[in-house]
Structure 1
Amino acid sequence: MSVQIRPIEGADKAAWDSLWDQYNQFYKRTIPANVTITTFSRFLDEKYRMYCVVAVDSESNDVVGFATYYPHQSTSTIDEVAYLHDLFVEHGARNKGAGRQLIERVYREAKTLGCDSVYWHTQYFNHRAQLLYTKVANRTDFVQYQKNF
């Protein structure tokens, strides 16, 4: 499978919604509809520094994956860093290079934005994705804590 990686467009909403639903099901989380709507609109609004790129199957022209990311300041560097927030490739397109290409596109975009690194988190049980992640980045020793309000 050959894919092209490009910025998300308004016409991608239905495809992204479907992939977003699959992604959230995988992580066993429920995102309110208003959050999903707002998130998608932020990708298209230049005043927000929240970005999304999609993987498009070159033959079918179907959107088969996405990555979301945003740059932010850090206390450990003068330059910004980028957080790769979400990465998903539909089941039928996995192990064919789309995930790697999405990550590499985020790397290029982050460099263009002046970031000095890209980082992300994943669930401990996401073993399949970790097989890719260990090939394209270095695993850190950090453990995440969270308090919801």
Structure 2
Amino acid sequence: MSDVQIKAVTDDDHAQWLPLWLAYLRFYKTELPDNVSQSTWQRLLDAHEPTHAALAWKDGKAVGMVHFIYHRSNWSIHNACYLQDLFVTPEQRGAGVGRLLIEHVYAAAKQDGCDKVHWLTHETNATAIQLYERIAERPGFIQFRKML
């Protein structure tokens, strides 16, 4: 994977980020209004926001993305890091790009004083779960939610 580089997003990356973001939403069979995607992009660039993003680059093209958010925890003095969105293009899946993106988040969160990285995936995402079980622990919690 030495030919893949992970870099934080910049203003110039929107044209590479947007197709990955839209493909990620399609993967999870959902759509968002354009203004939500635009707001997400602006937050990713805003240094005052707790949300961050990086792209995986190969041969001058973005082939993966990750979004992560720092947040307080009542169980620790330090912040935690929620890895919210992770996507790798179908052509690059299984080549280590997802692992590199997660390791980027681990390193950034550690450098920024977080003591935990956590995330969710859909129970049908078997390929991703195989990776996640190799690089993280599965704590056994079940998610509940109510949309407001």
TM range (shorter): over 0.9
Aligned-pair CA distance for 1:132: 0.6
CA distance in 2, matches of 1:64, 1:9: 16
Q: Normalising by the residue count of structure 1, what TM-score does the alignment of the two structures yield?
A: 0.96
Q: Percent identity?
A: 39
1:101 paired residue number: 100
Q: Which amino acid aligns with 1:17?
A: L
Q: Which amino acid aligns with 2:115?
A: D
1:29 paired residue number: 30
1:11 paired residue number: 12
Q: Number of residues paired by the alignment? A: 147
1:75 paired residue number: 74
1:56 paired residue number: 57
Aligned-pair CA distance for 1:33: 0.7
Q: Which amino acid aligns with 1:53?
A: A
CA distance in 1, matches of 2:92, 2:11: 22
1:46 paired residue number: 47
- In angstroms, what is the RMSD of aligned CA positions? 0.9
Unaligned runs of 5+ in 2: none
Aligned-pair CA distance for 1:15: 1.5
Q: Which amino acid aligns with 1:26?
A: F
2:122 paired residue number: 123
Q: Which digits, 9 at most, give the CA deviation of each residue in 1:20-47, with x for residues without a partner?
A: 1111011011111111001011111111
Unaligned runs of 5+ in 1: none
Aligned-pair CA distance for 1:49: 1.4
Secondary structure of 2:5's partner?
Answer: strand
Which runs of 4 or more aligned residues in structure 1 lie more than 2 Å from their structure 2 counterparts after TM superposition?
none
